[in-house]
Structure 1
Amino acid sequence: MTPATSLFYPVEADLQILADNLKQLVGNRHPILYAAAEHLFGAGGKRIRPAIVLLISRATMLDKDITPRHRRLAEITELIHTASLVHDDVIDESAMRRGVATVNSLFNNKVAVLAGDFFFAQASWYLANLDNLEVVKLLSEVIMDYAVGETQQALNHFHTSISIETYLKKSYYKSASIIANSSKATGVLSEVSPEIAEHLYNYGRHLGLAFQIVDDILDFTSSTDTLGKPAGSDLKSGNLTAPVLFALEEKPYLEVLIEREFNQQGDLEQAMALIHDSQGIQRARDLAAHHAKLAVEHITVLPPSESRQALINMADYVLSRLY
């Protein structure tokens, strides 16, 4: 599998600048919040979302250098994403992420919630200072979408009647909205046409959906070591994803196990076995491949460049995580 970071070679120097700036953006007025930021940004992560912003910046500014506003948008995108992860870990009661301790387990839930709020607030402040109303609207929508997605997921726990359409809508809110809206916002800063901006939005939307579907498949096919969290975590918590929803169409007994919330010994293991014995995982792979293909179709409207090629390769990388 190609590591994500090797796809970023056209913006390697830009990503180094971003890494240097992130902790400065948070500032050190409060030692606990600064410690949380140092921990989070020091943990690494692939920086996929800001890398996409920087690649689109370069792919849409071929005859000139990218601006400080493009760089700041990439930083804001990572701040918003990080804030969402901090809150996500509180909601899911996660102790580990990316193989390191979460903020809530290092400090406590109160500090984690406040740290997430603080990152959202900092992102909003820097966003306002970009002085571009359309970009402000696009990124503000991302923050609203996170809350809607989390609420939908919480309300639908263990509900076997949810449709694939409902699942995809929730996945858009929780994962694809940030890539879609930040991709379009990058185009706005580059002053592309409204038509190109819409293609950039759709590239991000379909790439983000493919990414989330693949993540949901990995919950069934990867080891705990690879995931950085216990395999089958989503299913155990009642978060029904694409492989489960497709498997439910074939395996009626799966519904019984889910609706009693795996409260009998061996229920979860039996449910996992039924999913592996169905076409659920393969159908989810096909769905991810469909969205990755649509993403590529939308990004090829840009003129050829190293950065555009990296954005195309990103769709292949998302699918390659399955193998």
Structure 2
Amino acid sequence: MWGALLRSGVRGTGGLRSMSSGGPPWSQVVSEAEKIVGYPTSFMSLRCLLSDELSNIAMQVRKLVGTKHPLLDTARGFVYDSRNNLQMRGLVILLISKAAGPSTAELSFQHNMVSGIYSSQRSLAEITELIHTAFLVHRGIVNIGELKSCDGPLKDMQFGNKMAVLSGDFLLANACTSLAQLQNTKVVELISSAIGDLVQGIYYENSKSSEENCLTDDIGISRWKEQVFLSHSALLAKSCQAAMELAKHSTEIQDMAFQYGKHMSMSHKLHSDLQPFVKESSSDTMAFSLNSAPAILHQEFLGREAWIKQIREAQGKGNIMDYKKLQEAIKAGKGVTSAIDLCRCHGNRALAALEHFPPSEARDALANIVCAVTRFP
């Protein structure tokens, strides 16, 4: 019944769900999913970036060439990074829209559907990508107070900050305009609350990182999950729910779509946090956040004082962190295996939500996405 899932190590709807290390790679999963929804989604948010209104901004960004402004790294990462396609949110929304299909109340409006998806749902997918991209651009703003002379001319950095603010605001304004055109009060409320969650989550991250001598947060994994939901999961979860509302599906189906978006994106974040600890091919040590899931879980098992001691021991002259030493300390504990278990737990909960949708290629593709973000070497 699950088609490709059986080949990926995930059992069907009648049995216990589990993920193995097998299954297709992420790029293949995304490519196959895009064929199901009717067209590639990787460039959806870039449509706005190529509009006439932003042509002057595109020209002015050339002034940043030669500097190390993070805005350039953000732009390069719009479409694809080395591990996962960053433009996956719109794709998931389209897939879950097609998996749910039309509701009984909307059967008479099937002529508005293309490839089994309403035009309003496609608009919502693009709106979600615009919001996500706007916040990516805003994250590229540089803290001028931390700049060094080797980072580039200060005036270029100041100019880049202004461009990041204006560009991000322009994308966000376009998203809000398109959102209003959907003419659905509940959808507007859902997406507006998701934007509020994003702002709250990012504000918390920035406020903690700016504290002096703040090496790592003194939080447990439960608090970590609350923060990650705000900054990473809320937008996708509420957008999936909004897509069901646009098709007039029941409250139960809306909740299942929300649960899938929430738990799949939590698995995605955990998978990303785990990469510095599970990659086998790279000989170089990858820098990682001291507030990532493996580090937070390592702290829970080890204790706060012992964890701070390990961090201090890994700091060399000039407070330069020896990530290799700290990485080995975390890998020797239980943090990494616990984070993998947590990633697969969220993956299983996402698959459980999918069981409420009828069997289809779209549902299989959504399950394959979960498998892709829960597989490890």
More helix by share: 1
TM-score of the aligned structures, taking structure 2 as reference length = 0.71
Change in CA separation of 1:259 and 1:80 when aligned onto 2, cut-off 3 Å: farther
- Name the CA distance, whole Å, in 1 between partners of 2:142 and 2:280: 23
Q: Deviations over 1:234-260 (max 9, x none)?
A: 23xxxx121001112227533235479
Structure 2 residue aligned with 1:293: 348
Offset of 1:266 from its aligned partner?
Answer: 5.3
Greater RCO (CA < 8 Å, at least 6 residues apart): 2
Do the aligned residues in 2 keep the contact of 1:254 with 1:274 (CA within 8 Å)? Answer: no
After superposition, what is the alpha-carbon deviation per residue over 1:201-220, rounded to whole angstroms, capped at 9, x for unaligned?
Answer: 01111111111111111143
| Distance in 2 (alpha carbons) for counterparts of 1:265 and 1:75 | 42
Q: Distance in 2 between matches of 1:291 and 1:309?
A: 17
- Per the alignment, residue 236 of structure 2 pairs with 179
Q: What's the offset of the Cα at 1:190?
A: 1.3
User: 1:34 offset after TM fit, Å?
Assistant: 5.0
What's the CA shift for 1:41? Answer: 8.8
Q: 2:308 aligns with which of 227, 230, 255?
A: 255
Q: CA deviation at 1:124?
A: 0.8
Structure 1 counterpart of 2:186, one-letter code: E
TM-score (norm 1): 0.82
Deviation at 1:147, TM superposition (A): 1.2
Find the aligned partners of 1:179 and 1:114 in 2 and give their Cα distance: 24
* Distance in 2 between residues matched to 1:159 and 1:20, nearest whole Å: 36
Gaps of 5+ in 1: 94-103
The residue number in structure 1 matching 2:36 is 11
Does 2:92 align with 1:52?
yes
* Counterpart-to-counterpart distance in 1, 2:46 and 2:168: 15
Q: CA RMSD in A?
A: 3.3
**Stretch deviating more after TM superposition (169-178 or 217-226):** 217-226
Q: Who is 2:169 aligned against? A: 117
Q: Map residues 1-323 of structure 1 onto 2, 5 A cutoff.
A: 1-2=24-25, 3=27, 4-11=29-36, 13-15=38-40, 19=43, 22-24=46-48, 27-34=51-58, 40=75, 44-45=79-80, 46=85, 47-61=87-101, 64=110, 65=113, 66-90=117-141, 108-157=160-209, 158-222=215-279, 231-235=286-290, 240-248=291-299, 249-250=301-302, 252-258=305-311, 262=315, 264-265=319-320, 267-320=322-375, 322-323=376-377
Q: Distance in 2 between matches of 1:223 and 1:117?
A: 40
Measure, in 2, the Cα distance between the counterparts of 1:306 and 1:132. 28
Rounded Cα–Cα distance in structure 2 between residues aligned with 1:265 and 1:132 = 52
AA of the residue aligned to 1:19: F
Q: Is the CA contact (8 Å cut-off) linking 1:180 and 1:200 kept in structure 2?
A: yes
Give aligned-pair identity as a percent.
Answer: 27
The count of residues paired between Structure 1 and Structure 2 equals 305
